[in-house]
Structure 1
Amino acid sequence: MRACPGLLPRIARALRREEGTASIEVVLALPIVMMMFLMGLEASILMTRQLLLEHALDVSMREVRLGRHPGLDHDRFKEIVCSQANLFPDCKNVVRIEMTPVSKTTWTLPDAVATCVDRRAPIQPVTNFTQGPQNTLMMVRACVVVDPFFPGVGLGLRLHKASGDGYALVATSAFVNEPGAGV
């Protein structure tokens, strides 16, 4: 006794039909194309953020180079940098700035790894921020921790995570305090 007479011929006929085969190509290709598009968009956003951080640090350094802000502290300089960098939400809480004099006798540079904000910690450790005496080479680094736009896709998935859940962007600048500048 047969349960469904004619079922096998109908299945065989359905398998031979060619309607809807174009949708298979779309189903297979669309995720790859979309992932590449989102990776490109993430890379362009990352590069724009890096460029804006570099630009903000450079513009902010112009005034400091000439000693127009004597007694400048970390919080005031952070305000100056954040006023120039408009793409970072909550900039004052995600940026860390360190200014360190470089010894002219040993030429010892600061630690290779920049100190960034740890978003998991309620209290952030103090960074070195010394304006330095005149005719001194100064090294300035700004580190911003930001979230990827597409964290689960392509580039956003593979970015090296800083302390916490974002990735770090670091900008570095160096200058010599002009005579009469600094402390």
Structure 2
Amino acid sequence: MRHLMSKFRQFAGDDSGVVTVEFVLVFPMFFGFFLMTYEQGVISLRNVMLERGVDMAVREIRIGAMPEPTGPLLKTAICGYAEILPDCEEQIELEMVVRDVRNWVDIPSQVRCIDRSVTTQASVEFVNGGNNKLVFLRACIRLDPMLPTSGIGRSIVTAAEGNDAAGGSYALVASAAFVVEPFADEDEE
């Protein structure tokens, strides 16, 4: 028994390996913070690029560089400006609505996004605005998290699990309101 007590005291007094235990306890937490920071950075970067793409495409419409915008043409323009968005033209949904400022009707609060649970997407209202018309453009893109099993990526996927349309993705939305500037058509000159 005395021999056992002496071995226990020797074991209790030995401090070799203390750093390893601390590392094993602390490293996963710091690495998890790193992964969550990385995921949040990617989400923020994608959101900024979507906003930029929408702003640049709207500028082209507003100044007359794109006089007859169509859904596919706008998707191409937005995705061209927002180059880092993966599978952009297949995952983006646009909604363009013209409103009369003298007879105001609210824009629907529900944003239309791609439904990943179906193969054919429902048509979306897309109305071109003429000169001096107030136009609202909303773009919604579905993106997969970079790290879907850790931290923020996992919480995004978990939050969208009840929504079959999400398919393990998250949605980023960008919107713009503008008045189409009056410009002369080439036919009039």
Shift of the 145–7 alpha-carbon distance from structure 1 to 2, 3 Å rule, reads farther
- SS of structure 2 residue aligned to 1:170: strand
Q: Distance in 2 between matches of 1:115 and 1:71?
A: 22
Runs of 4+ aligned structure 1 residues displaced above 3 Å come to 5-11, 13-16
Is 2:22 the partner of 1:25? yes
1:139 Cα deviation after fit: 0.3
Can you list the C-alpha shifts for 1:27-68, whole angstroms capped at 9, x where unaligned?
Answer: 111111011111111111111111000011111111111233
Residues 53-64 of structure 1 mapped to structure 2, 5 A cutoff: 53-64=50-61
Aligned to 1:71: 68
CA RMSD of aligned residues (A): 2.3
Aligned to 1:94: 91
Residues 28-177 of structure 1 mapped to structure 2, 5 A cutoff: 28-159=25-156, 160-161=159-160, 163-177=166-180
Name stretches of at least 5 consecutive residues in structure 1 with no aligned partner.
Answer: none
Can you list the C-alpha shifts for 1:139-178, whole angstroms capped at 9, x where unaligned?
Answer: 0011111111111222112234362211001111010122
Q: TM-score, normalised by structure 2?
A: 0.84
Aligned to 1:179: 182
Q: TM-score, normalised by structure 1?
A: 0.86
Identity fraction in percent = 32
- SS of structure 1 residue aligned to 2:102: coil
**Which amino acid counterpart does residue 47 of structure 1 have in structure 2?**
S
**Which amino acid counterpart does residue 42 of structure 1 have in structure 2?**
E
- SS of structure 1 residue aligned to 2:175: strand
